[in-house]
Amino acid sequence: MNERMLSQLPRLLDELSESGWALMPQAIDDIDSSALASDLDRQWSEGRFKNAHVGQGFEQSEHKKIRSDKIHWLGDDDPELSIQYWLNEVKDLTTALNENLFLSLSAYDCHFACYDPGDFYQKHRDRFRNNPERILSVILFLNKDWLTKDAGELLIFDDENPERIVAEIKPENGSMVIFQSDKIFHEVRTTKRRRLSLTGWLKSSPRF
């Protein structure tokens, strides 16, 4: 685990267990988030991104009212060093989360996401109704010098009172947000500038 993450880890663990979510500013170095952003851009220009979908049972026309971002799923076999670096960080983070919060996280799925100006994702939670595998959501932002006027904040709602906004997070380069996938309502405000992120889920395999 890199130094920045390591030094912020105790606070992250405390906040996550106390309020169900935590923000870690500058979880990775600028160089590493910029490398991820340029690999995202290359995959974008190769036409790999698709319109994102929401849970099951929605028509395509309804999707667009809920979210309008474009995504590209990543995998272990992605050769880019930037992605391998991130997967390694997540592996170390997973070990720390399992040891300290007594979780049994065993898998990680992630995708790049791009919100063009005008794109948004309405208030939602991340766990699907018919699939309990998603335990923690992990979002890494990949945007340099994000300004207040760019909007596109990630809103986090109180776990006990989901009408109350408890944080408006700028999607600033290298910042990482973690929250409980089943509990925490969140939303992406309509962005005014192209907004990049790497969003993933730490999962537990169902036990039978």
Biggest CA-to-CA distance, the chain: 49
**φ and ψ at residue 102, rounded to 5 degrees:** 55, 45
Residue 188 contacts which entry, Mn ion, ligand OGA, none (Cβ below 5-8 A, type-dependent) = ligand OGA
Sign of the CA dihedral with 153 first, then 120, 160, and 137 last: negative
**Of all residues in this chain, which one has the CB nearest to Mn ion in the complex?**
126
Tell me how far apart the alpha carbons of residues 69 and 79 are, in angstroms, rounded to a whole number: 24
Tell me which residues in 4-43 interact with Mn ion (CB under 5 A): none
- Smallest distance from the beta carbon of 18 to ligand OGA, in angstroms? 21
Tell me which residues in 104-143 interact with Mn ion (CB under 5 A): 126
- Smallest distance from the beta carbon of 114 to Mn ion, in angstroms? 15
Nearer to ligand OGA, 7 or 65 (CB): 65
Starting at the earlier edge strand, list the strands of the sheet with 107-115.
21-24, 176-180, 134-141, 195-203, 107-115, 70-74, 50-51
Q: Is 80 exposed, middle or buried (0-12, 13-18, 19+ CB in 10 A)?
A: middle
Size of the site for Mn ion (CB under 5 A): 1
Residue 154 contacts which entry, Mn ion, ligand OGA, none (Cβ below 5-8 A, type-dependent) = ligand OGA
Number of C-alpha atoms within 13 angstroms, CB side, residue 126? 23
- Smallest distance from the beta carbon of 93 to ligand OGA, in angstroms? 18
- Smallest distance from the beta carbon of 199 to Mn ion, in angstroms? 7
Residues at the contact surface with ligand OGA, assessed by CB under 6 A: 113, 121, 126, 139, 154, 186, 188, 197, 199
Nearer to Mn ion, 9 or 152 (CB): 152
Residue 68 contacts which entry, Mn ion, ligand OGA, none (Cβ below 5-8 A, type-dependent) = none
Closest CA to 101 of 166, 38, 15, 191: 15
Under rule CB under 5 A, residue 153 binds Mn ion: no
Residue 24 contacts which entry, Mn ion, ligand OGA, none (Cβ below 5-8 A, type-dependent) = none
Residue 136 contacts which entry, Mn ion, ligand OGA, none (Cβ below 5-8 A, type-dependent) = none
Tell me how far apart the alpha carbons of residues 202 and 91 are, in angstroms, rounded to a whole number: 10
**φ and ψ at residue 6, rounded to 5 degrees:** -60, -45
Tell me how far apart the alpha carbons of residues 201 and 208 are, in angstroms, rounded to a whole number: 21
The residues of the shown chain that bind Mn ion, judged by CB under 5 A, are 126
